[in-house]
Amino acid sequence: MREYEIVYIFRSVLSNDEIEGRLERYHEKLLSHPGSEITAIEHWGKRQLAYPIAGNDNGYYVVAQFRTIPAALPEFERLLKLDDELLRHLVVLSEGEFAPLGASDEGAGESAEAPAEAPAEVTAEEGAAAPAGSEVDATPAAAEEAEEGTAEEAEEKTPAPLAAEAETETAATASDGDVTESGE
Amino acid sequence: MATSPRAGSSEMRFKKVCKFCERGIRHIDYKDERLLRSFLTDRGKILPRRATGTCARHQRQLDTAVKRARFLALVPYIHGYYS
């Protein structure tokens, strides 16, 4: 049993019902393997794409976490490829955190994160979640008892304006607090 | 763009510390595009370590994270290329 994470990008023209339907179908396929479970589903909703995919400028993002046996994946992914309305999908091993859209990484550093690059099999523990609209260099703030937003923003020397990006969606959604639903 | 000294000298200014190590590490989330963007140039290129002060380990994580984010169109491959 391994913990995986998947990001789906559906064509934005689909209705919510259709998307739900497809998600159901795909997840059932996974669940058909005993012991598998879907530990979290998060709908990011419509987002502007950084570049056009298949002629679309935006897409409907869904992020899900699940647990299953490795052997279940090829068939699962094969199914996903067949869907014309699913523009992209990416399955990765869970990295031990589950940050909602646009959140900084602060919240994940609570307990033993696997220090190495190798993804750990830790279940998502984004317990405290990200404070609303947190920016990476702004005070990581209240949510993290350990963190203190000291003057880290001062040393930002990179040319790209930090968090001044007009990704309005990211600022709006931030932490819904529903991240904690990921079963621990 | 890069803040490192030019012309033959390739020393990294050690005033900078790795932003990730400072904050007590963690794994870099490829979905966190705000964070990721701060490590890209205005054209969307990944900044070198000497410009950001990131440690080797985190730079590697960053690289994978950015590449995944690019694939998922959370971050462009080349900024301003697609009109």
**By CA distance, what is A88's nearest residue in B?**
B72
What's the mean pLDDT when you consider all of chain B? 82
Question: Could you tell me if residue B12 is left (phi over 0), alpha (psi between -120 and 50 degrees) or otherwise beta?
Answer: beta
Of B25, B30, B51, the CB nearest to A158: B51
What's the mean pLDDT when you consider all of chain A? 65
Residue A89, min C-alpha distance to chain B (Å): 8
**By CA distance, what is A103's nearest residue in B?**
B32
Contact A105 B82 (CB under 8 A): no
Instruction: Report pLDDT digits (tens) over A72-86.
Output: 889 899 989 998 889
CA distance A52 to A35: 38
Q: H or E segment at A76?
A: helix A73-82
Chain-centroid distance, C-alpha A2 = 17
| Cβ-based contacts of B28 with chain A (< 8 Å) | 105
Q: Are A141 and A149 in contact (CB under 8 A)?
A: yes
Of A61, A105, A135, the CB nearest to B28: A105
Who contacts A60 (Cβ-Cβ below 8 Å, separation ≥6)?
Answer: A9, A10, A11, A12, A14, A19, A43, A44, A45, A46, A47
Instruction: Place B24 in a pLDDT band, splitting at 50, 70 and 90.
Output: confident
Which residue carries 């994946």 as its tokens? Answer: A73
Instruction: Report pLDDT digits (tens) over A31-74.
Output: 888 888 888 888 988 989 999 988 888 899 999 999 999 988 89
> Is any Cβ of chain A less than 8 angstroms from the Cβ of B12?
no
| Cβ-based contacts of A104 with chain B (< 8 Å) | 32, 34-35
pLDDT score at B82: 78
Instruction: Report pLDDT digits (tens) over B32-83.
Output: 888 899 999 999 999 999 898 888 989 999 999 999 999 999 999 998 887 6
> Is any Cβ of chain A less than 8 angstroms from the Cβ of B63?
no
CA distance A121 to A114: 9
**By CA distance, what is B48's nearest residue in A?**
A158
The ipTM (two decimal places) reads: 0.76
**By CA distance, what is A149's nearest residue in B?**
B23
Q: Are A179 and A129 in contact (CB under 8 A)?
A: yes
Looking at this protein, which amino acid is placed at residue A79? L
Looking at the DSSP bridge assignments, the partners of residue A24 are none
The sheet that has A37-53: what strands, in order across it?
A37-53, A56-68, A2-11, A86-93
pLDDT score at B29: 86
| Cβ-based contacts of A12 with chain B (< 8 Å) | none
CA distance A108 to A101: 14
> Is any Cβ of chain A less than 8 angstroms from the Cβ of B26?
yes
Among A89-103, A149-163, B5-19, name the one with the lowest average pLDDT. Answer: A149-163
Instruction: Place A116 in a pLDDT band, splitting at 50, 70 and 90.
Output: very low
Which is more confidently placed, A146 or A41? A41
- pTM of the full structure: 0.62
CA distance B70 to B9: 32
Listing DSSP states for A11-73 in one string gives ETTS-HHHHHHHHHHHHHHHHTSTT-EEEEEEEEEEEEEEEEETTEEEEEEEEEEEEE-GGGH
| CB atoms closer than 10 angstroms to residue A145 | 8
A&B contacts, CB < 8 Å:
122
Which residue carries 């000497």 as its tokens? Answer: B50
Phi then psi for residue A18, to 5 deg, are -65, -40
Question: Could you tell me if residue B34 is left (phi over 0), alpha (psi between -120 and 50 degrees) or otherwise beta?
Answer: alpha
